[in-house]
Amino acid sequence: MTEQEFDRAAVRYLDMVYRIALNALRRPADAEDAAQTVMLRLWQSGEGFQGEDHLRHWLARVTVNVCRDMARSAWHRRVVSLERTTEASFSTREQGDLFRAVMDLPGKYRLPLYLYYYEGYAVAEVGELLGLKPSTVQTRLARGREKLKTMLEEE
Amino acid sequence: MDENYKAMFDQVHASDRLREEVSQMKMQKQTPRRRFPKAALIAAVLLVVLAGSAIASVGMPGTLRGWFAREWEETTGAPMTEEQLAIIDDLTQPVGVSDTQEGVTVTVDSITVGNSTVWLLLKFSGEYPVEKSLRYHFRGIDMTLEPDPDQVDTPGGYGFDFPYAAVAEDGVLTMLVRFTIDLAGQTSLLDSSRQATLLLEDLVCNDLEKRGDEDVTLAEGSWTLTFPVEPGAEQAVRSLGEIQAPAMDLSTRETKTIALYDVQISATDITYVRSAEDQAWEPLRCALVLSDGTAVEQGSGTSRFWDEAQTQWGSTWYWQVPVDLEQVTAVRFGDTEIPLSDG
Of residues A143 and A74, more confidently modeled: A143
pLDDT of residue A82: 34
Over residues B95-142, the pLDDT tens digits come to 999 999 888 899 999 999 999 999 999 999 887 666 666 677 887 888
**Which CATH code fits B238-339?**
2.60.40
What distance lies between CA B31 and its chain's CA centroid?
A: 30
Residue A4 pLDDT greater than 90, yes or no: no
Nearest CA-CA partner of B91 in B226, B160, B183, B189: B189
CATH number belonging to the domain at A1-87, selected among 1.20.120, 1.10.1740, 1.10.287, 1.10.260: 1.10.1740
Domains B42-229 and B238-339 share a fold: yes
Confidence of residue B35 (pLDDT cuts 50, 70, 90): very low
- Which residues of chain B does A72 touch, with a Cβ-Cβ cutoff of 8 Å? 137-139, 141, 160, 162
Confidence of residue B53 (pLDDT cuts 50, 70, 90): very low
Nearest CA-CA partner of B77 in B290, B332, B316, B309: B290
Residue A73 pLDDT greater than 60, yes or no: no
CB A63 within 8 A of CB A17: yes
Interchain CB distance below 8 Å, A95 and B7:
yes
Residue B88 pLDDT greater than 60, yes or no: yes
CB B151 within 8 A of CB B115: no
How far away is chain B from the Cα of A66, in angstroms, using its nearest Cα? 9
Q: Give the CATH class of A88-155.
A: mainly alpha
How far away is chain B from the Cα of A71, in angstroms, using its nearest Cα? 6
Interchain CB distance below 8 Å, A65 and B12:
no
How far away is chain A from the Cα of B13, in angstroms, using its nearest Cα? 5
Residue B83 pLDDT greater than 80, yes or no: yes
Domain ranges of chain B: 42-229, 238-339
Cβ contacts below 8 Å, chain A against chain B, sum to: 135
- Which residues of chain B does A106 touch, with a Cβ-Cβ cutoff of 8 Å? 222
CA atoms within 13 A on the CB side of B90: 18
Those of residues 71-100 in A touching chain B at CB distance below 8 A are: 71-79, 82, 86, 88-91, 94-95, 98-99
Of residues B210 and A126, more confidently modeled: A126
- Which residues of chain A does B318 touch, with a Cβ-Cβ cutoff of 8 Å? none
Those of residues 96-155 in A touching chain B at CB distance below 8 A are: 98-99, 102, 106-108, 113-114, 117-118, 131-132, 145, 148-149
Over residues A102-154, the pLDDT tens digits come to 988 888 899 999 999 999 999 999 998 888 889 999 999 999 999 999 888 87
Complex confidence, ipTM: 0.87
The strand order across the sheet containing B194-207 reads: B134-146, B194-207, B216-229
The mean of the pLDDT values for chain B is: 81
pLDDT of residue B298: 86
Confidence of residue B34 (pLDDT cuts 50, 70, 90): very low
Residue A38 pLDDT greater than 50, yes or no: yes
Rg (CA), chain A: 16
Phi, psi angle pair for A128, to nearest 5°: -65, -40
Phi, psi angle pair for A110, to nearest 5°: -60, -50
Cα separation, A27 vs A87, in Å, equals 9
Q: Give the CATH class of B42-229.
A: mainly beta
Burial grade of B232 (CB within 10 A; 0-12, 13-18, 19 or more)? buried
